[in-house]
Amino acid sequence: MTNKLRYFVANWKMFGHLKSVNSLNKVINFKKKNKKAKNLKIIYCPPFTLIYPFIQKLKKTGIKTGAQNCNFGSNYGPPTGSINAMMIKSLNCEYVILGHSENRAKGENDNIINKKIISALESKLKIIFCIGETSTQKKRKLTKKTLLSQLSKGLKKVKNKKNILIAYEPVWSIGSGIIPKIKDLENISNYIKLFLANNMKFKNPKVLYGGSVNPKNISLLNKIKNLDGFLIGGASQNSDKFIDIIKKTFN
Ligand code: 13P
């Protein structure tokens, strides 16, 4: 149960087709009926092919849209198959997820992520910046060191911190059904917030958790008071499960 502002970011990854737009009806109706839930921020991040239909469908609903990645560079240019922040913003899309471990695994390093963050902020997109340790790093007790390095490198020379949300997504938890121990998660969220406030000049750092969030474990996760929301993969593609997760947070 909470009265505090909570973000629920739906990362649809490489799923969805045009007809999936209809599955938003349930969530739109839920949001309408819950006008009291002023503190509820829902952001849908579908694949690029669905951003525009989602934006049209979600117009005037208060539900926002985000992209799952973008290229750096704020002009038109040659990289074939790429889409940059300026092009995303031109659709009235508001957010972009950057630094997701599934893209880091494809070779996106901290330097590239940093360039993307700077370029996306220049295009006035809000950022959901993902960080998280692999299972090997966890086993070697390198979690905090890894997070600190990802944060400092990813946010290097970033001046305006107001529009950056941090999503802590332990790589070993994504899609595995396993979530961190509640105490560990609380501790890490606290650690990230303190680092951002003390070393990176964040005024009001916000941390979301991502990795196997589902209707079964959400009550447990909600015990963590210093989290500001969730980045949800698999369970967000099913509107009933997504609504259930939100309901269990606010009821
Ligand atoms: P799952 O919720 O499917 O584990 O995915 C988490 C994630 O990667 C969200 O960005």
Mean pLDDT in each 10-residue stretch from start to end of the chain (251 residues)?
Answer: 84 97 97 83 98 97 97 91 97 98 97 98 98 98 98 96 97 98 97 97 96 98 96 98 95 74
- Asked if residue 195 belongs to a domain, the reply is yes
Per-residue model confidence (pLDDT) at position 36: 66
Structural domain includes residue 131: yes
Domain-embedded: residue 51: yes
122 labelled catalytic = no
**Does a structural domain hold residue 210?**
yes
Give me the CATH number covering residue 220.
Answer: 3.20.20.70
3-state secondary structure the chain: CCCCCEEEEEECCCCCCHHHHHHHHHHHHHHHHCCCCCCEEEEEECCHHHHHHHHHHHCCCCCEEEECCCECCCCCCCCCCCCEHHHHHCCCCCEEEECCHHHHCCCCCHHHHHHHHHHHHHCCCEEEEEECCCHHHHHCCCHHHHHHHHHHHHCCCCCCCCCEEEEECCHHHCCCCCCCCHHHHHHHHHHHHHHHHHHCCCCCCCEEEECCCCCCCHHHHCCCCCCCEEEECHHHHCHHHHHHHHHHHHC
Q: Decide if 59 is inside a domain.
A: yes
Residue range of the domain that includes 138? 6-247
User: Does the beta carbon of 169 sit less than 6 angstroms from any atom of ligand 1?
Assistant: yes
Instruction: Tell me, yes or no, whether 84 lies in a domain.
Output: yes
Residue 122 located in a structural domain: yes
The one catalytic residue among 17, 94, 100, 186: 100
CA of 75 to the centre of ligand 1 (A): 31
Q: How many structural domains comprise the chain?
A: 1
Give the per-residue pLDDT at 244: 97
5 CA to middle of ligand 1, Å?
21
User: pLDDT tens for residues 56-101?
Assistant: 999 999 999 999 999 998 889 999 999 999 999 999 999 999 999 9
Predicted pLDDT of residue 37: 72
Catalytic residue status for 169: yes
Cα 174 to middle of ligand 1, angstroms: 5
